[in-house]
Amino acid sequence: MLGSVKYNGTGIETILAEKGLDSNGKCWHQQLENIKPSDVEKALSDSEGSYNFEKLLILISPAAEDYLEEMAHLSNRLTIKRFGRTIRLYAPLYLSNYCVNTCRYCGFNKENKFERTRLNITQAFEEAHIIASEGFRDILLVSGEDRQFINVDYLTELAGKLRGKFSSISIEIYQMSSADYAKLFEAGIEGVTLYQETYDRNAYTYYHSLGPKSSYDQRLDTPEHIAAVGMREVGLGVLLGLSDWRIETLALAEHAHYLIKRYWQSHISFSFPRLRPAYEVGDLQFGHLLSDKNLVQMITALRLCFADAGLVLSTRERAQLRDHLVKLGITKLSAGSKTNPGGYSGRSEAIEQFVIDDNRSPAEVANMVRKQGYKPIWKDWDRAYLEY
C-alpha cells in the first residue's frame, strides 16, 4: 500500500505521496478501524516522546478514544519533565487585512467587500506598546497576503523598533523566499509560523482556488526554507475542519519529523487552530469539524510522539476548554487577542480574520495558568544569549 502512490517530487512531497497522506487518506481508514485496544495498550507502554508512524497511527485511532485519560496523564507527565510547570504567553499583532487570496474560510478573503485596513509603522508600534504594557514580551506579527505594503523592508523596520520591547518576535504571514527569511532573521525575527491549512491536495485546491496561496507545493516546501536559514522556531499546523483530522495529524507529524531530522537548530511547534466564524463565512460547507474529545486526542497523541515540540493553543478555543487543555501538553497560549488591525487601540470597525472565543484579559489568563499549578512566562529568553 505504501508504494501504491507514485510522485516524482523530492523531500516531504515524496514522503506524503508515497504514504497516501496528500490525498483523502482512504488507504488508512480501514487500518485505523482495525486497531484493537491491545494495540493501544502496547503503544502506551512504549518509550514516551519518541516518534514512529505506526505508534501515532494507533494513538489517533478510534480505539484510542477509550484511553484518553491515560494519554492525558502520560502527556502531562512528559510535558512537565521536558518543559517544567511553565506556559509561555504571547499576543498576535495584526498588521493588515488586505489580501490577494480567496481562502474560503477566512474573513480577509479578497472577494469579501469591506473597507480594508493597514497599519503603518507608527500605528503598528503603538499597538505593540499596548501589548507590551499588558506584560507580553513575546509577539506574533500577522497579516493577510499584502506583499506591496507588508514587505521585507516594512517588517525589518518594525522589528528594529520592537526589539527594545520584546524578547521574542515571530511572524505568521504569506510564504516568502529563503533570502527574505534570512533578512528577517538578521533583523531580529527568529520565528515563523506557516500552516499548510490542509495536506489533502484536493481539499487544498477547493479552499484556495485563486491567489499565490493556491500553490500546494510551494506552501509545503516553505517550512524547509524557513528552517534552512536558521530560524529559531518553525510553527506547523493545519486548519482543523477542512479535512479528516486523523489523516491531517499523520501528515503533520511526517512533515515535522522530516524537518527535525534535517534542521536540528530549529525548534518545531504544533498549533491546533479549529475553524471559527468569520466575516462572510458560514459553517455549513465544512464537513470535517472535530469534537473537543478528538482535539484532546490529537494534542496528547502528538505530545507522546514529540516530547520536545511546542504545543500552541490560541484564543480560538473557549475559556473553559483552554483551562482543561493547559495540563495536557500545551506549552504556549495566546491571551487577550485581537484579530483585526488596530484592535488593541479600539478600532473595532476593522474586519477581523476570525472571531475569537476566549475573551479574557491577559491578566485573567495568567491567573488561570497559576491556578492550574503552572507559571505563566511572559519572557522566555533574551536575544543577548545569541551573542555568546
Looking at residues 261-266, what average pLDDT do you find?
Answer: 95
Looking at residues 1-19, what average pLDDT do you find?
Answer: 65
pLDDT digits over 24-52, tens only? Answer: 788 899 999 999 999 999 999 987 889 99
Give the per-residue pLDDT at 25: 84
Give the per-residue pLDDT at 285: 73
Looking at residues 86-114, what average pLDDT do you find?
Answer: 97
Looking at residues 106-135, what average pLDDT do you find?
Answer: 96
Looking at the chain, the whole-number percentage of residues with pLDDT higher than 90 is 88
Residue 156 has pLDDT above 60, yes or no: yes
Judged by average pLDDT, the poorest of 20-29, 208-217, 256-265 is 20-29
Which of 7, 11, 21, 6 has the alpha carbon at shortest distance from 245?
A: 21
Looking at residues 158-186, what average pLDDT do you find?
Answer: 97
CB of 105 closer than 8 Å to CB of 208? no
CB of 86 closer than 8 Å to CB of 375? yes
Give the per-residue pLDDT at 287: 86
Select the more confidently predicted residue: 24 or 197: 197
CB of 31 closer than 8 Å to CB of 54? no
CB of 102 closer than 8 Å to CB of 384? no
Residue 373 to residue 67: CA distance in whole angstroms: 24
Amino acid type, 223: P
Q: Which three cell numbers stand for residue 381?
A: 529568553
Topology adopted by domain 69-387: TIM Barrel (3.20.20)
pLDDT digits over 341-361, tens only? Answer: 999 998 778 899 999 999 999
Looking at residues 180-187, what average pLDDT do you find?
Answer: 98
Q: For the chain, what is the radius of gyration of the CA atoms? A: 20
pLDDT digits over 285-339, tens only? Answer: 788 999 999 999 999 999 999 999 999 999 999 999 999 999 999 999 999 999 9
Residue 279 has pLDDT above 80, yes or no: yes
Give the per-residue pLDDT at 24: 76
Compute the mean pLDDT over every residue in the chain, rounded to the nearest whole number: 93
Q: What is the pTM of this model?
A: 0.93
